[in-house]
Chain A
Amino acid sequence: MEQPANRRRPAVDLIVLAAILVSVAWLAYDVGVNVQAELTRLGWGR
């Protein structure tokens, strides 16, 4: 449900965006490690 517009702060966008992007970057790194392990298991990586 949409919240009252007067509670919006310009900084909120920036903080949420930064928090989500940093989270995604770190999670993507984790997934990358899994993918690398999978490639190694399949004999494609090293």
Chain B
Amino acid sequence: MRGGRRRPARAFALVLAVGLTIAAAGLALCLGPAAIGPREVLEVLGGGGDGVARAVVLQERLPVVIAGLLVGAALGVAGVLLQALLRNDLAEPYLVGVGPGAYLGVTVAALLAGASALPTSLVRSLAALIGALAVSALVFSLARRGRGTGPTLLLVGVAIGSFVSAVATAALYVAVPDWHRVVYWLLGHLSPRPALDLLLLGGALLVTGAAAAIRGRELDAVALGEESAFFVGVDVRRLTFVFGLAASLLAALAVSISGLIGFVGLLVPHLARGLVGPSHRRLVPTAALLGGGLLVLADGVARSIHPPLQLPVGVVTAALGAPFLVVVLLRGRR
């Protein structure tokens, strides 16, 4: 399924991805329950506009779009890396301990903050990050004691993840009266974030992207199979460890910013593969672009679908993305 027959020319495909992402970001800037349309957005971006329009576009929508581009990109890249390393099309960024770890972290933060007060956003983000990194580090170190390759990592990740989720749910259920708020946060949402968070995520994204470009051939080989990778001289264990951790770090940073936004990390690698093929040198940047674009578009829809209520963005990513995924997969099989 990874080798679609009719595919646009590679260079053109990447340009197309850039164009789609920019279009999605522009559309997302114009979507929302406030009565601020394309004309007002252009005015504000051109330095004009009235106070309310400026506040809505510059303080609310633009920061969300920037955060969404970065989070979506991180989820897309993490998904590509994990699907290659685990050689499993169902792999997604939260699989190897990130999701359950973030859940545990947020729960512990809520417990520490006391029964009545909820943790502030900074504490919660930090707790999610620490939890996600700690649990995924545990998964990777345990997997390394075994064979240290894809299938072991997958199984250890699922096992540890289930265990951690169970502990977190029990703690949440027993000790946090406001547990529904924690769960709602975990459902995922985008909001304007401090520049530091975004810089961290952007930096991690750049480093991982560069590393993936340098080691692209090795990732291609691992994605084909452990044995073939071994015979072309790839240190599969080391590659799995390094890129697996990098993917987990990306996903953990994304979670700490936006909660658990589902489906993007699963869907985007398949979309990107359908567009540019299996080579990781092209796949990683394409997944970053498409991930960002999809997420900001989904968030725009989530904002405006039933105002003033805001839907969890994960609901919209799944609803928008699932049909695409099916189409891409069916076309690939033909």
- The answer to whether A and B belong to the same complex is no
